[in-house]
Amino acid sequence: MTAGVLAIDAGQTGIKVRLGGHDIVFPGIRTDEPLLPQLAAVARGAVERTGVPASVIAAGVSGLTTREADAAALLARIDDAGVREVLLAHDSTTSFLGALADGRGAVVAAGGGVVTLAVGRDSVARVDGWGYLMGDAGSGYWIGREALDAVMREYDGRGPATRLTDVARERWPDLAQAYISLQSAEDRVSIIASFAEPVARLASEGDAVSQRITVRAGGELAHSVETALRRVRTEESERFSVCAIGGVFRSVRLREAFTSHLSASELDVALVEPLGHGIDGAVALAGLVPGHPLATAVSVARA
């Protein structure tokens, strides 16, 4: 079911849209402004730019809250007589559908933040995705925060030497003033998350502190997957597919740690490559059957 479907994969770094064979990228969601007007503007803009009419709009949105998950309100804002149906879901749902289609298992999506979604025979479990202040264990932000903690521990004499200190000094030559600079920066979250890349690189080059951070991150991500799968498992012999997506998994050592933790679990899991991406999951959202466990996580409105 893809004819007439306007699929939206909306994140903070960019909004991907697919309509009538055209793939378009719009600027990312502005979190300081109301969400639904932004999605409505993207939908109208996609129709205008492609010249293709849409009858169904299916959107997966990063950080979608319960209050914002109002498909009827979005349908009213779009104000297009040709649009007969709107489906709105958290991007963990569309990430799952893109990666594992209608299979059973778990998808962990780890970039600057992280969220894990597991789908069993009858139920769905979301683990983490609680943001950098309250969660996102094993994410790029989490790794970066651990890196900076290690740097300042070395600076104080509380921790071992690490080559991460050299990386931090490139940004803040005077480490004693680094915290002031970081706390006052509007983009401090992305600055912290940017340290995940040197952690991965230095871990591969033998820096012991970076290696420990990386192994712990892999363990945190595996723990989230195991927790989610236990919540949806109905039989001990049940076999699940697990898909790991997102930038942090480019670290070979992290992926090895993640895989090692899963292998040691009592769960019967198989690590698989994703079938597609979030935009493919948004397309699949329009064809989700009512009885599927994920259907309860989708807000639907029809004209």
Tell me the Cα Rg of the chain: 21
The token duo for 220 is 């945190």
pLDDT by residue (tens digit) across 56-98? Answer: 999 999 888 888 999 999 999 998 878 999 999 998 999 999 9
Cβ neighbors of 113 (< 8 A, separation 6 or more) are 129, 131, 132, 136, 139, 140, 141
Virtual CA dihedral for 174, 177, 179, 181, nearest 10 degrees?
A: -90
Rounded percentage of the chain residues whose pLDDT exceeds 70: 99
pLDDT band at 254 (very low <50, low <70, confident <90, very high): very high
Per-residue pLDDT for 13 more than 80? no
Per-residue pLDDT for 171 more than 80? yes
CATH class in words for 5-97+278-302: alpha beta
Per-residue pLDDT for 235 more than 50? yes
Of the two residues 279 and 12, the one the predictor is more confident about is 279
Task: Compute the average pLDDT of residues 198-217.
Answer: 98
The token duo for 82 is 């040709």
Task: Compute the average pLDDT of residues 242-264.
Answer: 96
d(CA 141, CA 131): 9
Per-residue pLDDT for 122 more than 70? yes
Task: Compute the average pLDDT of residues 274-296.
Answer: 92
Per-residue pLDDT for 296 more than 70? yes
pLDDT band at 147 (very low <50, low <70, confident <90, very high): very high
Task: Compute the average pLDDT of residues 197-219.
Answer: 98
Residue closest to 28 by CA, chosen among 43, 39, 44, 40 = 39
d(CA 85, CA 54): 10
Architecture of domain 102-274: 2-Layer Sandwich (3.30)
Q: What is the pLDDT of residue 2?
A: 58
Highest mean pLDDT among 12-26, 92-106, 198-212, 279-293: 198-212
Q: What is the pLDDT of residue 210?
A: 98
Cβ neighbors of 205 (< 8 A, separation 6 or more) are 163
Task: Compute the average pLDDT of residues 40-56.
Answer: 93
Rounded to the nearest integer, the mean pLDDT of the chain is 94
Task: Compute the average pLDDT of residues 280-288.
Answer: 93
Same fold across 5-97+278-302 and 102-274: yes
pLDDT band at 109 (very low <50, low <70, confident <90, very high): very high
Domain positions in the chain are 5-97+278-302, 102-274
Per-residue pLDDT for 272 more than 80? yes
Per-residue pLDDT for 204 more than 60? yes
Per-residue pLDDT for 1 more than 50? no
Cβ neighbors of 240 (< 8 A, separation 6 or more) are 104, 105, 106, 118, 229, 233, 267, 268, 269, 270
**135-153: burial string, b at 16+ Cβ within 10 Å, e else:** bbbbbbbbbbbbbbebbbe
Rounded percentage of the chain residues whose pLDDT exceeds 90: 83
